Structure 1
Amino acid sequence: MLGQKEKAIVNYLSQHRDRFVTSKELAEHLSCSDRTARTYIKSLMTYSPQDTGIKIIAKQGYGYQMQVIDEQKHLSFLSENHLDQTRETIDITDRHNYILNKLIFEQDKIFFDDLMDQLYVSRSTLSSDFKKIRKELLKYDLTIESRANKGVFVKGSEHDKRRFIMDYFFSGHFLKNLHQYVGDEFFNLPISFEELTIIVLDECRSDNLKLSDFMIQNLVVHIALAIKRVKDGFDLSPIAIDDEKFHKEIRVAGRILKRIQNRMELNFPREEVNYIALHLITQKNDGQSLESKDSNMLLRHDLTEALKKIDGLYGYHFADDFTLIEGLLVHLEVLAERLAIDVHLDNPLLAEIKGQYSDAFHLTQKLLDDLATFADYRLSDDEIAYITLHLMASLERQREENKLNVLVICATGYGSAQMLNNRLKNELSPFINIADVIGYYDISDDRLQGIDLIISSIDLSHLVFSVPVLTVSVFLKEDEVAQIKEKILTLQPSSKKIEKPKDDLILEQVFDDYFSERYFQIFDSADKEELLISMVNSLNDKQDACYAKSMLDLVHRREEMSTVAFNDVIAVPHPIKAIDKRHKIAVAVIKHGIDWDRHFSKVQLVFLVSPSIYENEGLAAITNRIVDLTDQPKLQEKLSASDSFTAFRQVFLSDNKEG
């Protein structure tokens, strides 16, 4: 069996098979030394390609590259080592979801070491995850406990566990599921998805059927379509299930349908009980044979590769959508079981899906063409339309995720603020998500977390933020709407690019207007307060004691509002209001870094911005350039290594692109 680090290397090389990967890159990925990374690589290279299906090539000066020489052996090797190629890309939210699925739904023994291997994270990262999860569970009177030989588990009443499951997994607080995007209105049901979910959840958990959140979601969608089938008069083909072997699943399916019948006064045919029971049988977690696990691994691999192919052709991000992949896998596994016993379903939504969502339907056809599991079957349009629902939900998620998070700031956060809020929603809701509406004095670090753009009805030009700020009137005029739309185009999350000055010559002229060798200092190390005093003194052209005291006080008051550290390297302190007649910027380079605050302990570049009380033409170009630097680690290194103002100026004005 591979160790945790070796698994991480296999996964990383597998995902970057198109190129050589250096030992330095692997070391950064593993959070270890270059030498240690090479040791792990050498260990992996001792495995026989005849056993693993892979070969690792080492090329001096280039690094390492993985070649798959036998796909089936490769997949078996991954399966034997519990390697899941999609796990590597799980972000923190999906990681929490994965852990909670294990704790709440599977309810088996869960050990820290196993989770570390499955998620490719360190013990400290996992401990941090559990700290946040504990806090979330505490709201529902649930706790996480740990015991020897039993691992970690959730303690609390079943009632509280079900409350948590509904809020966390099915209300979209963390997981944006299919129900949210292809929901009640599209299905036109006389019962809500939430109520259907409660019924399924109650009956499955009462009989201790262990279904994950994705399994329950798929089952609820199946039941929603079953309701439409009955209402629209569709017939079902008979399906035979071993009553003795699967009596529990049949019993649970019967209770689910009985509750729905009582709620809606709708009669379901006997066949529908067996169809739901088939879902419950197929989706059981326990007792999977090795052959079945290999088959599921192959399906996951083929699905991921097929989604990547579609992404490459059409520019989507399906292969990065954890929710889509997990939901599709559950659906496709059930579909494979049905096809194996020659059971097919009519889809009452087929006409609407082909008519209104033809693009998604054709994408689904292309996807299924690349899945070897279904190569021997001719799937009907009805079956394809079922799968299309998952892609439709993913497309909606991608549109939602591409919206900018906007913070709206007004004088108080009330009255006129709500007017501006409503105008923004009416005019720009397809492009922005309004995260909050606050007053000027409510600006804080917490309020700025995750914000892409600030829209304010009061002038904030005297303050510097790490995100762009647009000033508009509370009535939001047409030209202001156009201005916001223009800005949004430069800030799309997919590009993650900050607007840079269009003319480098203009930036050069602006630089000389704000910066000066008199305001430039280099330190080996420094105390924060002493550094600020020294920088303020450099700006104090007239050596006015009152100026120095006022400036320091205003700088501290600005930092009380929210942090002025833009990242681990750069801080931009500035007064909460302008007091200088002429604008200027002091710069300090601290070679060994400075302890700025509890979040940033190695700041090396400090820009003390002092705007003018009169005019600050070009300041936006300077601050945009500083913000741009936060995504340029190589340029940050060069600036931090500057041994003179001339060298600093040359690097600051150099091409924004990393070399």
Structure 2
Amino acid sequence: MLNHKEILILEYFYNNQNKYLTSKKVAKNLGVTEKTARKYINQLIQAIDDDLACITSTPGHGFKIVIRDEEKFRIYFQSNKKEQLEKSNIRHIEDSKDRQYFILRKIFFDNKEIFFDNVMLDLAVSQSTLLNDIQSINKKLKQYDLSLRTSKINGLSVEGNERDKRHFIMNYFFVERLQNNLKSLGEISKLLTVISPEEILLIVLDECRNVGLKLNDTVMLNIVTHISLALKRVEEGYQIKFNQYFNKEDYTQEVFTAEKIVNRLRKSSDIHLPDEEIYNIALHLKNKSSKSSFTIVDEETKCLREAITKVLEEIEWDSGVLLSKDPILLNGLIDHFSPFIDRMRNNNKLSNPLLKEILFNYRYEFELTKKYFSKMEQLKNFGVTNDEWAYISLHIIAALERKIKSEKKNTLVICATGLGSSQMLKVRLENELGSKLNIVKVISYYEITDEVLQDIDLIVSSIDLSNVVFNIPVVNVSVLLNEEDIKLINQFLGTRVASIQKPKTDYKIKENQVTQLINKYFHPDLFLLSNTIVTKNEALNLLADKSIQLDTSIIKHFLMNQLKLRENFSSVVFSKHIAVPHPIEGVGNIPRVGILITPRGIAWDEASKDIKLTILMIPDRFGNNQIDEVSKALLPIIEKDEYLDEIVKVNNYEEFINKLTKLLTR
């Protein structure tokens, strides 16, 4: 199996397989010296089976990967990556962080005794090395009021209350390690045997929407992970205790929602979550929800407003920018501070995935925030971490960059990391592209509905949505909107203008490109014709079963849950007669497209009773998510009724391919 560095290099080569890469470029990407990069490249060349792929070198140009068997290569890469991620093979554990992960995973998930001497032998390290690792683990645990203890009788164990343990597990094993919240459910599902994370997500989503609680993507993932851990640990016999001060009168809406969630979970999982779990979930909802307005201003909010205004007035002297009269900034900070102070009181700390990027690109704004807000009376009794200061600084960054906007393209901004970063991305877009974009709304992915998407021309997202098909163009960007992101959006805007000016050529693709697309994604066994299927469920079950026959790595219930989850957010019916169902996460070893033609039409939902073409998109687990190539290429079929009419008349796969090629190159 490959080690961590070799996997990173292999992925880098694969993502750039049409280019030559010098050892200098590889070294820069890997963060090592050129000599070290060459060493790992040579190891990789020796390790890869020539039947799968080979890495060639050309003097003066560099190295290049040649894939010989796409499907086998993907399986090879995925198995290596999975083993490295889970640290299941101790022979490939190389550094201190990996050893710490291995130890903590054993303690929290194996549910077996683990002894110091055995770990030392398993990892083949000295006593002093392992003691240093344990010291580092204790530093991590200390932030959650936990500690690692060693005993000759009981071995290594983590001491502390159950809620703090779950909080640590959630951050360490999930939130901090999963870069894309939308593609995290597959990892969480490894915990569960009685209910899927998609079902948990739908339950939380339903109940929060019913009472108008707004939660961003990161928060939603945290709650789903928290509930998953609760179910798992109750199933294993752990006791849930709730020792915190908790006044139900202050949490009326959250307790009501949590009760609804827990009651539905009890029915769906057949696990009796104790009442204490209601209060745990209510705390998550209270600490993580954002108030949309302040029509009822209590005394605490009034004091908070005054304190924040005072800080902003002080920052004005330093920055030279009028901040205290900025209503968006002021209300955004009040929205942020109310749950933030609740978290501090409950010793509930958050990590910030943007901290390094903020410190690198916005050090001045970060230091400005920390310097003045640390003087607030409301924060003096708390040890505020740099992660939290970074969250607050996002509001200041947004305000310092704010400019008057000019309206043009109706744009929806989707952001996962909270109000501050969402506001900053919005302002960066207005600042850089204000003459071209009208930012209609900034939302979390979980707030997407058909109503929200109405009249939207463009989606700009800081979440990777390449696996998710919308009938609206999507541009993925960094939350800090770098130069490359601005260039991408400008390219899109330029392309749209060009396509409007030249409608006759906007869809034309070269025949060899269509052939490559068909060979890559389509398969005769995934082409189906039926005059008997009349419902959506029949259609999806047939396509899923045929997909599994081609790729046995696909788990049907996971695929069906993902299809249900995607459709819960917005319709996958993209025209009167066409539906494009697809999962959010990769589900197979190789990307595929399933085609089902139903000339007599099927009833998809109440609004769509005559679906004649169902296109099932199946993204792979590899991570490149190139399935969007297909959705872009198939736009003519989706948007032009006369194209669909011709497709529906075909009698077999060969006719379908010929007709598709002809239509797309017309």
When the two structures are superposed, what TM-score results if normalisation uses the length of structure 1? 0.37
Higher RCO (C-alpha under 8 Å, 6+ residues apart): 2
TM-score (normalised: structure 2):
0.37
